[in-house]
Structure 1
Amino acid sequence: MGSVTFVCLSKSKKNNEFCVAGKVINSDGTVGGWIRPINQHGDINNHDCLYQDGSYAKPLEIIKIPLKKHLPKKFQVENHLIDESIYWVKKGDYNVAHESLMSLCDYPKALWSNNSQTSSGKNDQVSPEEATILNESLYFIYVGSIIFFTSRWNQEKLKVRAEFIYNNVTYNLKVTDLAWIEYFDDKDLGSYNKENTFLTVSLALETFGGFHYKLIAEII
């Protein structure tokens, strides 16, 4: 299949590996559609996203990756199988000015369906029946302000959620952005505000209790 260049808009926690995703950068510099590189196990590990100089791919880098084939699974139509034997190549850093990030944004009417939620979230899950008619699993949106909520039970790992309003609907979703989880790890538990915020929101393929969960995979 060859290779593709994309701007990385997510490198989030997925079990003990990563979920990496971004938007294709065409040869003329225009922005294309979403791509989620995966290995044969459906994830990305440290070896997969390694550059030849020994560093690792990060969000907001422009990256050239080797691909074998398009490998969609259910509504995750963005999945592409990588060639794990070839290094990824960093082509540069994406311009993080507000207008440049806005050029990457999606404008869905809603973040999939808003008919169910968990006890700790708001509009944070999609039923399997609703998922059968979906044909995308990633959005990059501008939401302005968000509120983080951090919690921890005894010695368990820190849990981070974030609440925001998009198209007049309130969402409260689990955060899987590793950088923000690490940022809050040694801070007091509670709530924190952030303004002028962009989010990569992902719909997980795996189910819990029969539902697919909406996740905040990247916070910029």
Structure 2
Amino acid sequence: MPLWPEQTVTQNLLVNARQGDRVAVNRLLERHRNSLKKLIQLRLDRKIAQRVDASDVVQDVLMEANTRLQEYLSDPRLPFHLWLRQLAKDRMIDMHRRHRGAQRRSLDREQSMTSPQFADQSGLDLMGQLADQELTPAAASIRKELESRFLIALDQLDDEDREIVVMRHFEQLGNSEVAEALGLSAAAAGMRHLRALRKLRAILGDRPSQTEQPHE
């Protein structure tokens, strides 16, 4: 299931917001609240998360979005959800710098990525194993083991490769959305994604398919 709300409704609300409709503004921000919370739970450093509630970070991001909405509406260079995503990312980077120091690695991967918040994300089924939503206890146990292997392997990727895997398979952004967010061409984003998957599968001990192609 995609992380972000359906875009047709968002576009309609943006049109109304441009016309000064405050109800539309409130609906626009509120319908992205849960998505922002999942994103922040996914990416927030666990040590910071022990002191700061994700809901409070969401509220701060939505307040900033409300303050800067007219600026966005006058020059919407990114789709709205990618703009919100960038606000949230900037907020978390600032928190990491203040809490952990600008020069220190911002994530303790093995701890934060195996936290309950992260484990709840449906995007963990990257390889497509055991994707049924209703699993037997045995199958659920196997999937948990696969997820643990995947997270450990993900930690071994460099930052660039890890970022694009998270964007595609946890946030479930499409290739064109990833390209926009990273300032790449669609072809470059697709190739970066494919390269990251090949590295990930090599770490997991799987041989990449010779016919594998980037997905839109």
**TM-score computed with the length of structure 2 as normaliser:** 0.32
Identify the structure with the greater strand proportion. 1
Identify the structure with the greater helix proportion. 2
Based on CA coordinates, which of the two structures has the bigger radius of gyration?
Answer: 2
